[in-house]
Amino acid sequence: MAKLFMISLFLLTTVFPFWAHGNDLPSRAHWAVLVIDVQPCFVEGGALAVADADAAYVRDAQWATRWFRYMGIKVLGSRDYHPADHISFYTNHPGSQPYDVIELPDGRMQVLWPPHCVQTAGDSRALVDNNLFYELVKKGQDPSYDSYSAFRDDGGANTELDGILKALGVTHLIVYGIATDYCVKATVMDALDLGYSVVVIEDLIRGVAPDTAAQAIADMKAAGAWFLPAVRAMK
C-alpha cells in the first residue's frame, strides 16, 4: 500500500500537471521539495497544534520526503525559530489573549499566537528526518516581524532559500507542510511571484481553520499553483 501511494504521488506531482497541459516535463534536476514547518509546536500535543496534524500525518510526511529523496529530488525545508520575545506571542502584549489581532505602533496588524517554536525549546526542531534535507531554513528569528513565508519575513528581509534554489538550478517546487492558511500559502505565493512552478500535495497540508484553509487553497490555485487530487484514495 505504501509503495502504491508513493508511486502515485510521484506520477501525479511530476508528470500529470505537465502532460495534461502539453508542457515539456523538466528533469528531476530542476525539481525540489519544500517541507514547510513540520515541527512539534504545530502537531498534535504542540503549543499551536493544527487540526489533523497527528502522528499519522507526520508519518506520511516522513514517507513522502524519504521517497522524494530516494528518487533523487532535492529536499529543502523550513522551520519556525522564534526568540522568546517575538512580536507574535500574546504573552509579550499585556492584557492580550491568543488569536487577538492588534495594531502595532507602526500601523501593522498582528495576529497574536501562543508562544511556539521558541529557539531555546525542543519544539522548534523539524520532525522529518533532518538527514533528508539539503537545507533547513530557519525563519521568524527577527523579534519584530512575523515570517510565514520560507522566502522572506513580513518586514521584507529575505531568507537564503531563493538563493539556494537558484544556485541549484531549481525551477519547479513540490510543497507540503503546515499550515495551509499561513506558512504554506505565504511560501507558495512568494514562490510563484519569484517565477517558480509550484505543485502542492493536498493530502500533506494541514490548516488552522477550515474556512481560512479553503480560502488559502482557492487563492493559491488562482495564483497558478497546481494541487494534487486525494492520492490517499489510490492506496
Residue extents of the structural domains in the chain: 2-6+28-80+125-150+162-173+194-234
CA 154 – CA 151 distance, rounded (Å): 10
Whether 41 sits among the annotated catalytic residues: the reply is: no
User: Out of 41, 60, 74, 139, which one is annotated catalytic?
Assistant: 139
Q: Cβ(31)–Cβ(174) under 8 Å?
A: yes
pTM: 0.88
Query: Which residues, 6 or more positions from 202, have their beta carbon under 8 angstroms from its beta carbon?
Result: 217, 227, 228, 229, 230
User: Out of 74, 153, 154, 183, which one is annotated catalytic?
Assistant: 183
> Can you give the pLDDT of all 235 residues of the chain as single tens digits?
444 455 445 555 454 444 444 456 677 889 999 999 999 999 999 999 999 999 999 999 999 999 999 988 999 999 999 999 999 999 999 999 999 999 999 999 999 999 999 998 888 899 999 999 999 999 999 999 999 999 999 999 999 999 999 999 999 999 999 999 999 999 999 999 999 999 999 999 999 999 999 999 999 999 999 998 644 433 3
Whether 139 sits among the annotated catalytic residues: the reply is: yes
Whether 183 sits among the annotated catalytic residues: the reply is: yes
Sign of the Cα torsion 129, 132, 135, 137 reads negative
Helices 210-223 + 185-193 axis angle, to 10 = 10
The fold of 2-6+28-80+125-150+162-173+194-234 is Rossmann fold (3.40.50)
Query: Which residues, 6 or more positions from 170, have their beta carbon under 8 angstroms from its beta carbon?
Result: 30, 31, 32, 74, 196
